[in-house]
Structure formats: C-alpha cells, structure tokens
Amino acid sequence: MPLTVTVIAPGMMGSAVGKRLSEHGVTVLTSLAGRSAATSTRAAASGMQDASDAQIAASDFILSIVPPGEAMSLAERLAPALRASASKPIYVDCNALNPGTVVRIAALVQETGARFVDGGIIGPPPEPDSSKTRLYLSGPDAEAVTVLARHGLSTPVQPGPIGAASAMKMSYAGITKGFTALGAAMMLAATRAGTADALLAEMQVSQKALLGWLTAQMPKMPSKAYRWVAEMEEISAFVGEDPAGAAFYQAAARLYERIAADLDGGRSEVDALETFCRRAGGGTA
C-alpha cells in the first residue's frame, strides 16, 4: 500500500521534503490550521494535503520539521490524537535540538504508544535528484524510517540511542551557524570601525576560500535568523559542560535575535552585511 507521511510544517524545508516525497508516490499530509494563505499555497504546490490531527495520527510516519522552539509544543498538541489512534505512526523529530530536549519529546510521544525516532537534517531544502540533504536517524526504530530512502530522501542511520542524530546535528550546526555568527560580528565591527574595505582586501589575499564561504552564506542568514535563535540556545545546552562554549552560543543567539529584529526594522546591520558581501563579490541573494 502507498505510504502516508505527515510533514509539519510546510515551511521552506518542510515543503521541499513534502514535495520530494509526493513526487515519489507518497501521500503527504500536513496541518494548515492557523497558517497563512501563502503557506497554504506553498503546501498545495508541494503536493501536501491539509489534514486533521486524527488523520495525522493515522499516517505511517510523522516528520516534525518546525522551528526548534516549537518542537515540544507540536508533540504536546498531537499527543491526544496519537493516544487515541488505533494505528500508531512513527514520530520522527527532525528538528535542531539538544539531545536532552529530544529525550523529553520522545518520552511524551512514546507514552501515547507511538514509536519515536530521533532525526537531524543537514543540508539545504532537497531539490530533484540532489543528495545534498541528509536526514540522519537514530534510536531503536531508526531502520524502519529508512524506507523513505526509496521515496526520494537520504536517510543515513547514526549509530546510537535516541539523541545521537541530534548530537550530530548540533555539532555540525554549531560549526556552520556558529561560524556564520562569528563572521557577521566581525563584518559589522569592521564596518563600524571604517576598516571593512581593508579587511576585504586582506582576506582576498590570505583567506580567499574562507571569504568565499562567508560571503556565500551571509546574505542567506538574515531571513533565517529568527529560527536560529532557539537553535543556538539548544546548542548552548548541548555544550553545557563547557561554560565558555555555552556562553559563546548564547551570545550567538542574541546576535541572531538582533539581526532578525533589524531585518524587520531599520535594516542598518542587514544592509551593512549585504554591502560587505557585495563588495567581496558574494552578491545579496
């Protein structure tokens, strides 16, 4: 029988995952309650169908793909429907979460009788015939989710218990998004000091590859900064036994919080970052 997979929510990543599954013969459900018209349009374009919580609880798999700060509340919302459902799905939390947070969500889901798999997405929203996006899986039921590899997703299993895939995601995002925060702070500091052009000139000579990576990533960051606030806080908890590391990611969270507010406000810092990247040849995509 065809698989039914629920993907919540149909944001940039969720809708791309939903489209990939739909194109590979999967019936893809989502929840559009309280969502905008633009989100509903994006979901429809991705082949995703609106469903009630009861219908969602009857699907084969539920993929939770929401901002990190909403992961627990989604599980709490679906718990009554999961508890009442005769056919228990496998609930896959795909969010950027500290393993400790994942274990708490797992306990909530498993109490309903549903199975739980820890997931961590690395890479951009999946595109046709692309293998750049990987959904790492861990926990006792991880192998059961690899059936989705037959339907367009890359699903490597991370050996270890629930929390192992999230630890992998935390480590990776801590480097890439932590480094983006560090680059943004220095680009802004150099702009305030009037030395942005000198910094660019030196990096073009001595750190060309690093400059290329930063100026490719930085223009994409402001529109995502609001989602990265909670992610940095989760990473801070992940490195909690290292006080200096935890403080670094708390500071990164505050920087992303400020950038998100600036994007919706005066745009002084967003414009400064775009100008720096444009002068380096990175564009403002």
Domain locations in the chain as residue ranges: 4-161, 167-280
Q: Which one of 3.40.1350, 1.20.1420, 1.10.20, 1.10.1040 gives the CATH number of domain 167-280?
A: 1.10.1040
> Are 36 and 93 within 8 A, CB to CB?
no
Which of 112-116, 129-133, 225-229 has the lowest average pLDDT?
129-133
Token digits of residue 59 = 């699907």
For the stretch 54-64, pLDDT in tens is 999 999 999 99
- pLDDT band at residue 285, thresholds of 50, 70 and 90? very low
pLDDT tier, 176 (very low <50, low <70, confident <90, very high otherwise)? very high
Mean per-residue pLDDT for 172-176?
Answer: 97
Per-residue model confidence as pLDDT tens digits over 56-98: 999 999 999 999 999 999 999 999 999 999 999 999 999 999 9
Please compute the mean of the pLDDT values over residues 99-127 and round it to a whole number. Answer: 97
Cα 242 → chain centroid: 24
Residue-wise pLDDT for 9-21, tens only, equals 999 999 999 999 9
* 184: pLDDT strictly greater than 60: yes
**Percentage of the chain lying above the pLDDT 70 cut:** 98
Distance, in Å, from the CA atom of 63 to the CA atom of 30, rounded to the nearest integer, reads 10
- CA 21 – CA 136 distance, rounded (Å): 16
pLDDT of 284 > 60? The answer is no
Q: How much is the pTM?
A: 0.92
Average predicted confidence (pLDDT) for the chain: 95
CATH number for domain 4-161, candidates 3.40.50.720, 3.90.1300.10, 3.20.20.140, 3.40.50.1820 = 3.40.50.720
- Integer distance in angstroms from the first to the last C-alpha of the chain? 42
With cut-offs at 50, 70 and 90, classify the pLDDT of residue 115.
very high
Q: Determine the average pLDDT of the residues in 253-259.
A: 98
Within the chain, where are the H helices?
12-23, 37-45, 53-57, 71-84, 99-110, 142-145, 164-193, 196-206, 208-217, 225-238, 243-263, 268-280
